[in-house]
Structure 1
């Protein structure tokens, strides 16, 4: 009888007092602890709302995703043609006036031929003097130079072409074969063309996670959708100063914790993984020890934490799970059933096997 008194005392303690391991507690739909959160540019501590995964939530987030696609920088049709800039080398040929052309003609080395646009975007030419050409297309520069030379010569006919493109550059970095700086020429440079010039993908490339840095802003591109679904909105025209970063798929993982049959880090394949896929990869939920109503997706979100909860008590919830997309670095946490928590407590605290003690108690008539 006295050997069973500790059992009776333990059973009178609150469940949260001795339950081992992690458990996801919430306070009126909010996290139990305060988390660092970026609020209007300032880091603050606050509790985060736990959002139920419902059909309305999935519709809302899909709508936001499509709006994000539409918020990519628009293509300016006026800037699709190459515009002359500093350090470009131009070859100017004036017909019937050889004295205005490069002396030596074809004997000049290519890297020394033509005239270089200076740092201010100006070009010096005989009779005309200094003429600003930066920001102009070849056709516009030709028209301006023709007009100025016409003040000194009759029926001026000339041609301009860019010998060396140096003014406009983009950088392609990350998981490409040949990362580095690329010069832009008269052919508009798109995301797909820039990646091809860089030698294409490596074995670790994550085309669903491509970032474009432009004018102090960062845009997320899904190049994988462009290749697989023809989503041409992702194939942006690049401009001078852009930095294109192809992500590493080794950094795109989902972490499964709690009462899963297999706790592990799961690789996201081609940027796509749903909640139901992650559960399947983890060999499902352990229904003997878990609390299916408490399946959580925890998303740190670069100081913008989010927590979502799926109530999987009903099999219908798996439809929602299949429609809920996960992101890299998400943590999938499956809650522990209360009975399981108590069983673990008693096995840790009581001497010997809890099951054996309870059997002995039964034999003694308790």
Structure 2
């Protein structure tokens, strides 16, 4: 085989491998100093991907808003006006002073709950002299007034006391990542979201406290226990109602992916305190100082815009002090942090893949030369 033939084969191989192997994001045309938004030059993605350089001046606009301590006057008013309404299954304790014959005593063998008046399915209780009394949907004050009025026909100025011995009719439910999930009774003491979480033993280790849901009358509302418990935003605390379902999800969706030229590419979970770009890079051992293009640290995020595929944020850490900017950029679930390779690294990969082919061609050429020399 002649040298020209070998050169021709090599040219064909190199042309076949001119697209350097491995994932890569170009950096030269992405960073700008005088524009807030850049789009890729690839015409097919031109209208679908936006590039946002992360600079000291611009990172502030991408910083997530931190909840502030806020009062909740609506909750305060609701608690002040709160009054329990009796329901089916509740047990009432009714006392008529100076008339022990009308009061069922509770002794050492019978608790107040066992000795009381159980609210039947038709919403009534039975009481001596006056018969059935409708109690469902009424407060203890309204029930006391009604019984006293009806007993006054038989007893002069009856002194009536009504309290609830057992709260059985109304419940709220707390599910998910709490220590003791399950139902919690609605009682004469107002029950708030924070109270319910504390009664459930607090949050479990795998709880996603930023995305708690409250389902009421078939409608779902998103709440943040992080804002409530960590930042003091009381607007996230609500008075719970019968039938409410509070769900604390697992933090399975709180994950980001760190790929490319880093020491240990892997998936990371965002903890309760959140995760910055710098923290993510630190968790994987930093960038590969030899192979990485320090100007090409990208965060790829699904875009909320209907006509765009992704938003890409680019950080240039050729100056290591730029990592301070990364501490101000918080990652979101399913972000992809990608560190691109510098050109020499991608060329080395190409040559590594081509080396077996080139060695084989050389061996063929050497064998041909030896054959011709032997023939001569």
Normalising by structure 2, report the TM-score: 0.70
Deviation (angstroms), 1:74: 5.6
Contact 2:79 2:239 in 1 (8 A): no
Larger relative contact order (C-alpha < 8 A, sep ≥ 6)?
2
Greater CA deviation, 259-268 or 297-306? 297-306
Mark the CA change 1:340 to 1:164 in structure 2 (over 3 Å): closer, same or farther: same
Mark the CA change 1:120 to 1:301 in structure 2 (over 3 Å): closer, same or farther: farther
Aligned to 2:370: none
Distance 2:116 2:222 in 1: 38
**CA displacement, residues 97-121 of structure 1 (integer Å, 9 cap, x when unaligned):** 445433x554645443222334465
**CA displacement, residues 124-173 of structure 1 (integer Å, 9 cap, x when unaligned):** 54527442432x44334434544554566543321111111112222223
Distance 2:284 2:51 in 1: 23
Deviation (angstroms), 1:31: 9.8
Report which of the two has the higher share of strand. 1
Aligned to 2:52: 52
Question: Which ranges in structure 2 are unaligned for 5 or more consecutive residues?
Answer: 31-37, 363-376
Greater CA deviation, 106-115 or 161-170? 106-115
Secondary structure of 1:351's aligned partner: helix
Distance 1:97 1:301 in 2: 74
Question: Which ranges in structure 1 are unaligned for 5 or more consecutive residues?
Answer: 35-46, 358-366
Contact 1:208 1:271 in 2 (8 A): no
Distance 2:247 2:261 in 1: 37
Aligned to 1:220: 223
Aligned to 1:335: 340
**CA displacement, residues 205-240 of structure 1 (integer Å, 9 cap, x when unaligned):** 4363451322221423234x6555545444443332
Mark the CA change 1:330 to 1:138 in structure 2 (over 3 Å): closer, same or farther: farther
Q: Which of 340, 349, 352 is the equivalent residue of 1:344?
A: 349
Secondary structure of 1:345's aligned partner: helix
Aligned to 2:331: 326
Aligned to 2:212: 211
Aligned to 2:313: 309
Deviation (angstroms), 1:277: 0.7
Mark the CA change 1:291 to 1:123 in structure 2 (over 3 Å): closer, same or farther: farther
**CA displacement, residues 291-317 of structure 1 (integer Å, 9 cap, x when unaligned):** 444433344699997533123256464
Largest Rg, 1 or 2 = 2
Contact 1:170 1:239 in 2 (8 A): yes
CA-atom RMSD, angstroms? Answer: 4.3
